[in-house]
Structure 1
Amino acid sequence: MNATVEQLAPVAEPASNTVWVVAALYQFRQVQNPAELRERLLSLVQRINLCGTLIVADEGINGTIAGDRDAIDQVHQFLLNEGFNGLEYKESLSQDKPFRKMKIKLKKEIVTLGVDVKPRDLVGHYLNPQEWNEMISRDDVILIDTRNDYEFQAGTFKGAIDPKTETFREFPEYVKQQLAEHKDKKVAMFCTGGIRCEKSTSLLLQEGFEEVYHLKGGILKYLEEMPAEQSLWQGECFVFDGRTAITHGLEEGQNEKCHACGWSVTPEERALPSYEHGVSCLHCIDKTSDMKKASFRMRQSQIVAAKRKRL
C-alpha cells in the first residue's frame, strides 16, 4: 500500500434523544489481507448507525467510532471474532453526534510514525495510572508528551516536555535532535489512548535507550480511573471528535475547537477580541487573510442555517 485508500459509509440520522457511545480502540496485530478486512467492515457499518474513523493496515487496526449501544457492540464483537482479542478499548459518551461521517481507511500504518519499528516485539514498560503517578513524581525521570502542539496546549501532565511537533511523523527527528544524549535516563511517555506510545517507546528502545516507560491506555484510561483529587493531570484532554476535549471521568470539557485552525480554545480565550466563532482565535487571527476570514464567516453562516433546518 503506497497511499491511503479511504471509503465512506452512509450514516443514518438517529433519534434526537440518542446518547452516542464513543469507542476508542486499537491493536497491533498482523493482518494478512487488510483490504479484505476493510471491505467486510464496510459491509457491517453500512447496516448500522455508526460514525467515526477506522484505520486498517498490515500492522493492525486503530480508530474512534460512535453510535448507539447496539452498533458499538456489533463492531466490537466483529473485531473480537476477527482475532482482535487484545484490543486497547475505551468507551465514553457524547450528547451530540461527534463525527459527521463514517470512514474506513486503508493505510501503511495505523498511526503514522514514518519509521520502521516493531511495537509487537519491542515495547516499553507499561504503567497503570497509580504506577504512573509514582513514576512521573520522581526527579530522575524525563516526562515527554508525544502528542502534537495543539493537544499539549489543551492540557498535559505536570512537568511534561512539549516536543513542539505538528504531526507524529516529526517525533523521530525530535528524538534524534533532543533526546539522543539521554539514553541512560529513565524516559516516561504518554499520549491520548496509548497507540502513539506503543511506537514511540519501540523507537527509543530501538535507538538504544535503556529504560522506557509509558502510560497503559493513555490519558483516557488515566482520566477514567484516577480520582481528580489524586490526579497529576492539568487542563483538558484534546480529542479528535466533536467534543473537542474531555476531563476526569471522561466527561466533556469546556474547551471548544477553533474551526479555522483546529486549536482547542478555553472559555477565557473565547472571551478575547481575537475570537470569532468559526472564524478566528488567538492562535490564528494573525495567520489568515481578510479574504480567508470572509470565507470562514460564509461557511459558519451555512452551518448555522443547516442546523436551523434540522430543528
Structure 2
Amino acid sequence: MQSEKPYVNIAAYKFITFNDTVEKRPQFRALCEELGLKGTILLSPEGINLFLAGLREPIDQFLAWLRADDRFADLQVKESYSDKQPFTRMLVKLKAEIITMKNPLIKPEEGRAPAVEPKTLKRWLDQGHDDSGKPVVMVDTRNAFEVDVGTFNNTVDYRIEKFSEFPDVIAQHKNELDGKTVVTFCTGGIRCEKAAIHMQNVGFDSVYQLDGGILKYFEDVGGDHYTGDCFVFDYRTALNPRLEATQTAQCFACRAVVTPREQLSPYYVPGKSCPHCRKELRDVEAKAEASA
C-alpha cells in the first residue's frame, strides 16, 4: 500500500565486481540531480552501497536505470517513508570498500555466509534455540553509539568504535561462542554479511547473517525481541519497529545520539550542544585541574 508520506527512502547494497566506477560516477550524479534525489551512493570495486530519498516516481526511475545494468538487475531495496527529504545533499563517492573492514580476503561476491530470514529468526528467538537445538546468540556488528539507540534483547555487544575493529574483537571472544549458533546483524545487512564471512573463515561452524538487517526484520516481523529503535544515518536519526522516525536526535557538535529525555536538558541546544558535549567539557576541565 502506498504511504501517505511523499518521500521514499531507499537503502540497498550489492557486492559485485564493479571496475568502472570512475566512468559511472558522473552518470550516477547527473541522473540523481536530474531526478531531484538526495543521499549518498558509494561506488567501489567490490560493489555499491546507497541511501537515497526522493518522490516515488523519481525513485522508481532511478532503480529502473540502475537495474538495467545486469550487475544490479537483482538489487534488493529496503524502503521507508517520510514527510520531508531526510538528506541535505547528493553525494556520489568512490571508495576502496563499500563498508570498511580492511580485510581483503573477505569477498562476499564469491559466496555469502548462510543467511537467516527475519521470520525464521523470530521463531528461533521465540523457542530459544535454532532448528537443531543449539542456543542462538545475537552479535551486533554496529558501532557502540548505534547499539545504544536500540538492539536485540540479550545481544552480544563488543562496544566497537568502527567496523574495522570487528575481526580482532571477535577473535578474542571465539571460545565464548563455541557450541552456539551465532547470528550477526546490523542496520541493513552489509556489515553483518562481511562479519559472518570472516567468522566462517576463522573457524566458526554455525554462523548466520540476518538477511536484510534490522530494517528488514522490522519490515517483516516488527519489534519482537528488540528493545529501542534503529539508528539511521540521516536527519531522522532513528526509526522505530514501524519504520517511523522517532524523537531521538543527533548532536551537530559532538555527533552523540540525544534521547528525548536528554533533549530536556538545558545543555541541549539544537545545532550547537548537548549533555554529552557538557560531560566531555567537564572531563577535560577535570583533567586540566588534576594536572595543574
TM above 0.5, yes or no, is yes
Structure 1 residues 275 and 124, CA gap change in structure 2 (3 angstroms)? same
Map Cα deviations across residues 206-260 of structure 1 (whole Å, 9 max, x no partner).
Answer: 11111111211111111112144xx111101100001111012211112111222
Aligned match for 1:64, one of 33, 41, 51? 51
1:303 aligns to what?
none
1:90 aligns to what?
78
State how 1:12-27 maps to structure 2 within 5 Å: 19-27=6-14
2:273 aligns to what?
280
Contact 2:33 2:90 in 1 (8 A): no
Contact 1:183 1:208 in 2 (8 A): no
The answer to whether 1:169 aligns with 2:164 is yes
Aligned residues: 272
1:155 aligns to what?
150
1:232 aligns to what?
225
The answer to whether 1:262 aligns with 2:255 is yes
Aligned match for 2:212, one of 210, 217, 224? 217
CA root-mean-square deviation = 2.1
1:278 is displaced (CA, Å) by 2.6
1:73 aligns to what?
60
Map Cα deviations across residues 35-70 of structure 1 (whole Å, 9 max, x no partner).
Answer: 112122122123120110000111110010111112
Aligned match for 2:124, one of 135, 143, 149? 135
Return the letter of the residue paired with 1:242. Y
Structure 1 residues 122 and 210, CA gap change in structure 2 (3 angstroms)? farther
Contact 2:14 2:47 in 1 (8 A): yes
Structure 2: distance between partners of 1:186 and 1:274? 44
The answer to whether 1:103 aligns with 2:91 is yes
Structure 2: distance between partners of 1:226 and 1:271? 33
| Gaps in structure 1 of 5+ consecutive residues | 1-16, 290-311
SS in 2 for 1:31: coil
Contact 1:225 1:249 in 2 (8 A): no
SS in 2 for 1:120: helix
Structure 1: distance between partners of 2:56 and 2:40? 17
Contact 1:184 1:209 in 2 (8 A): no
1:142 is displaced (CA, Å) by 2.4
Q: What TM-score comes out, normalization by structure 2 length?
A: 0.86
Map Cα deviations across residues 117-148 of structure 1 (whole Å, 9 max, x no partner).
Answer: 02123432211212112334337222111011
1:207 aligns to what?
202
Contact 2:5 2:81 in 1 (8 A): no
Structure 1: distance between partners of 2:169 and 2:275? 26
Contact 1:18 1:68 in 2 (8 A): no
Aligned match for 2:18, one of 10, 31, 35? 31
Return the letter of the residue paired with 1:124. A
Moved more, 238-247 or 277-286: 277-286
Contact 1:258 1:279 in 2 (8 A): yes
SS in 1 for 2:193: helix
| Gaps in structure 2 of 5+ consecutive residues | 283-292
Structure 1 residues 282 and 178, CA gap change in structure 2 (3 angstroms)? farther
Return the letter of the residue paired with 1:118. K
1:151 is displaced (CA, Å) by 0.5
Structure 1: distance between partners of 2:277 and 2:108? 36
Structure 1 residues 288 and 206, CA gap change in structure 2 (3 angstroms)? same
Contact 1:154 1:265 in 2 (8 A): no
State how 1:106-121 maps to structure 2 within 5 Å: 106-116=94-104, 117-121=106-110
1:32 is displaced (CA, Å) by 3.0
Structure 1 residues 135 and 121, CA gap change in structure 2 (3 angstroms)? farther
Structure 2: distance between partners of 1:272 and 1:238? 21
